[in-house]
Structure 1
Amino acid sequence: MTTVNGGRILVVGGYGAVGATVSQALSQWFPGRVLVGGRDGDRARQLGGVRVDVTDPAAFRQSLDELKDVVAVVMCVEPPDAGVARVCFERGVHLVDIGATLRLLDDVAALHEVAAGTGATGVLSVGVAPGLTNLLARWAHEAVGGAERIDLTVLLGAGEAHGADAVRWTVENLARSARGTALRVPMPGYGVRTAHPFPFSDQHTLPRTLEVGQVTTRLCLDSAPMTTALFAARRPARHPAVRRALTASFRHIHLGGDGFAVRADAHRGPHHAAYALTGQKQSRVTALVAAYATRELLTASLPTGVHHIEQLPALSQLPEQLAEHGVALHQLGSA
């Protein structure tokens, strides 16, 4: 494999639920170039890595200066702000960010000119949702010749052992308001499910990147009783004590499987197009999306600056590339 950039790839959180798979995949493609990093220095050093702290941009800057040869950072943990992204871009270091919080995504996207000025590229909305949902939305949008409305549906396996950060993120967002109403949606392999509006970032970024008037993302679990229980807790989850209890509960209760499905429906007048993906272990596939995006970043000429995944044509075929990892593509409707 020919690479346009030498140097090492720093995977921050590279020992976690997602980061470990990112590190393994990249090590197969770039032997000897992957460096695991994280706040738990002992765990990182056990894997030949280093301690890095994304909550302290000054310390992170010093770490990059000491390492010298880092050309790309894959962020598998969510920092408190865009400070670390700025540090990367100011040094011409590429960034692939798995973060899913809208505020942080917007703050990193605002560094577009900083990155472009040093020849760096940032890739955002990397994962399943956001990520694969964004790519399917673009496919459906183009299939109808420009959508007026896009509906995204995410089904997650209630039995999958998600990382602590993922569970905490879900519970925190459960308490936030989400536009739209619940819908009954046919999901390949799962039948018709009731999906509830949920504040995924894709529904906020896609209206800008695709110029679509209305985008709504909805969530359900593979277990209907768990879906009912989750959204029954939406109002109580506004209280911090309830959120803490829910986070603890959902980390230990596994009443479903480990499969997932995502679906994108685009509408323009009488025209309708829909695509879906199904697979196993959403955390693993999120990591694979990040790994593929990083490989493309280091082996092809992606544009400089900061871009969401659906803005990069070189990554548009990722849903098909994931077939070798057991992810199935379904075309459900056509214009």
Structure 2
Amino acid sequence: MTTAKQGRVLVVGGFGAVGATVTAALEGWFPGRVLPGGRSRGVRVDVGDPEGFGRVLDGLGDVAAAVLCVEPPGPGAARACLERGVHLVDVGATPRLLDGVAALHGDAVRAGATAVLSVGLAPGLTNLLAARAHEEVGGADRIALTVLLGTGERHGGDSVRWTVDGLAASPSGARPARFPLPGYGTRTAYPFPFSDQYTLRAGLGVPDVTTRLCLDSRALTAALFGARRAGLGRAARHPAVRRALTGAFGAVHVGGEGFAVRADAWRGGRHAVHALTGRAQSRVTALVAARAARAALTGTLPPGVHHVERLPVLAGLPEELAADGALTLHRPAPAGER
């Protein structure tokens, strides 16, 4: 395990939809030690400039941990942290970026620093529920994750851009499927490139993992994925179309702020299900990130780069959040997809 650190915490993007909650939560645990930052407010820092980011860390001098609530274009900012022995919590959700940070494992171990990846709702809590279901069936050979997101919440720019990028990505070979979701009935969800499915295949050794997405609005779900089948994904690969879609999605608020997650695991005739529901996806993502940073600062995590489901100390995060009223845990009766 690493040792507890007494330095300050830099929250990059600390004034955004996720970062402001991370900052508030950490300030409650570590009063006077939290520094919100961004390109125009607080500590001036730009994750797109790794060398400049490193100079900021050096100038501050006593940064013990950094929480990235904005997604950098590459792993340079993570490398700047880990090479200096600064713990890192990365809210990023792009598989390419997460793989780049994971490749810094050796640097982190040598410096005695910890990086926690797959932090949030999806990836994050989805990983933890999948790991539970996987263990319950004695090692799954197939896992299905279903995520329902509310369209009424005002998401940050990175989240909206990530959604558009997901629509532009080439669809996987998986098919849509229908699953009962607590509080929302049986919903049709569509394969979507959440990073958790790629992480879990490698981390848990499960050959078949698929994450599917639906929205709380049935009509908007049908329209969005119908448009993808009709060619929206190919069109969204053009920069001008992508910018227009990002602006349009950022302005759509037709549903509520609720979310639901369901994790199904199968092995032979065994089937386990875990689920959770809550409100305000951005807030819950922030609370997961803040608790991961707290664990790093208190020296309870091993050095190196780790996805959240590989850290036993964080396995109880769903119960912690449920106790605080941030979400509700469910154990639906096993039922196959439809």
TM-score bin, normalised by smaller chain: over 0.9
* Corresponding pairs, count: 326
Once residues 99 and 30 of structure 2 are traced to their aligned partners in structure 1, the CA distance between those partners, rounded to angstroms, is 30
Which residue identity does 1:229 align to in structure 2?
A
Percent of residue pairs identical = 65
2:224 paired with 1:230: yes
Once residues 136 and 56 of structure 2 are traced to their aligned partners in structure 1, the CA distance between those partners, rounded to angstroms, is 46
1:243 deviates by 2.4
Partners of 1:143 and 1:334 within 8 A in 2: no
1:320 deviates by 0.7
Once residues 90 and 325 of structure 1 are traced to their aligned partners in structure 2, the CA distance between those partners, rounded to angstroms, is 37
Aligned to 1:111: 104
Partners of 1:275 and 1:333 within 8 A in 2: no
Which residue identity does 1:153 align to in structure 2?
T
Aligned to 2:161: 168
Aligned to 2:33: 33
Once residues 290 and 333 of structure 1 are traced to their aligned partners in structure 2, the CA distance between those partners, rounded to angstroms, is 30
Once residues 35 and 245 of structure 2 are traced to their aligned partners in structure 1, the CA distance between those partners, rounded to angstroms, is 34
Once residues 307 and 63 of structure 2 are traced to their aligned partners in structure 1, the CA distance between those partners, rounded to angstroms, is 22
2:330 paired with 1:330: yes
Partners of 1:237 and 1:243 within 8 A in 2: no
Aligned to 1:278: 277
Once residues 74 and 249 of structure 1 are traced to their aligned partners in structure 2, the CA distance between those partners, rounded to angstroms, is 29
Aligned to 1:21: 21
1:237 deviates by 3.3
2:180 paired with 1:181: no
Partners of 1:127 and 1:290 within 8 A in 2: yes
Once residues 236 and 147 of structure 1 are traced to their aligned partners in structure 2, the CA distance between those partners, rounded to angstroms, is 34
Which residue identity does 2:137 align to in structure 1?
V
2:309 paired with 1:316: no
Once residues 233 and 162 of structure 1 are traced to their aligned partners in structure 2, the CA distance between those partners, rounded to angstroms, is 22
Once residues 115 and 88 of structure 1 are traced to their aligned partners in structure 2, the CA distance between those partners, rounded to angstroms, is 9
Aligned to 2:263: 264
Aligned counterpart for 2:45 among listed residues 47, 52, 56:
52
Aligned counterpart for 1:213 among listed residues 191, 201, 207:
207
Once residues 15 and 276 of structure 2 are traced to their aligned partners in structure 1, the CA distance between those partners, rounded to angstroms, is 27
Once residues 194 and 161 of structure 2 are traced to their aligned partners in structure 1, the CA distance between those partners, rounded to angstroms, is 14
Which residue identity does 1:34 align to in structure 2?
V
Partners of 1:155 and 1:260 within 8 A in 2: yes
Partners of 2:133 and 2:272 within 8 A in 1: yes
Aligned to 1:47: none
1:238 deviates by 2.3
Matches within 5 A, 1:188-203: 188-203=182-197
Scaled by the length of structure 1, the TM-score of the pair is 0.95
Q: Secondary structure at the match of 1:332?
A: coil
Aligned counterpart for 1:95 among listed residues 88, 96, 102:
88
2:123 paired with 1:130: yes
1:178 deviates by 3.1
Once residues 254 and 184 of structure 1 are traced to their aligned partners in structure 2, the CA distance between those partners, rounded to angstroms, is 24
Q: Secondary structure at the match of 2:331?
A: strand
Once residues 249 and 49 of structure 2 are traced to their aligned partners in structure 1, the CA distance between those partners, rounded to angstroms, is 30
Partners of 2:9 and 2:35 within 8 A in 1: yes
Which residue identity does 2:211 align to in structure 1?
T
Once residues 313 and 100 of structure 1 are traced to their aligned partners in structure 2, the CA distance between those partners, rounded to angstroms, is 21
Aligned counterpart for 2:73 among listed residues 72, 77, 80:
80
Q: Secondary structure at the match of 2:178?
A: strand
Which residue identity does 1:186 align to in structure 2?
P
Segments of 4+ moved more than 3 angstroms = none
Once residues 16 and 137 of structure 1 are traced to their aligned partners in structure 2, the CA distance between those partners, rounded to angstroms, is 29
Partners of 1:272 and 1:333 within 8 A in 2: no
Aligned to 1:8: 8
Aligned to 1:291: 290
Once residues 206 and 220 of structure 2 are traced to their aligned partners in structure 1, the CA distance between those partners, rounded to angstroms, is 32
Once residues 159 and 301 of structure 1 are traced to their aligned partners in structure 2, the CA distance between those partners, rounded to angstroms, is 37
Once residues 244 and 226 of structure 1 are traced to their aligned partners in structure 2, the CA distance between those partners, rounded to angstroms, is 20
Q: Secondary structure at the match of 1:302?
A: coil
RMSD (CA atoms): 1.3
Once the two structures are superposed, residues 138-185 of structure 1 have per-residue CA deviations (whole angstroms, 9 ceiling, x without a partner) of: 000000000000000000001111112211110111111232100011
Once residues 202 and 230 of structure 1 are traced to their aligned partners in structure 2, the CA distance between those partners, rounded to angstroms, is 22
Scaled by the length of structure 2, the TM-score of the pair is 0.94
Once residues 176 and 270 of structure 2 are traced to their aligned partners in structure 1, the CA distance between those partners, rounded to angstroms, is 22
Aligned to 2:241: 242
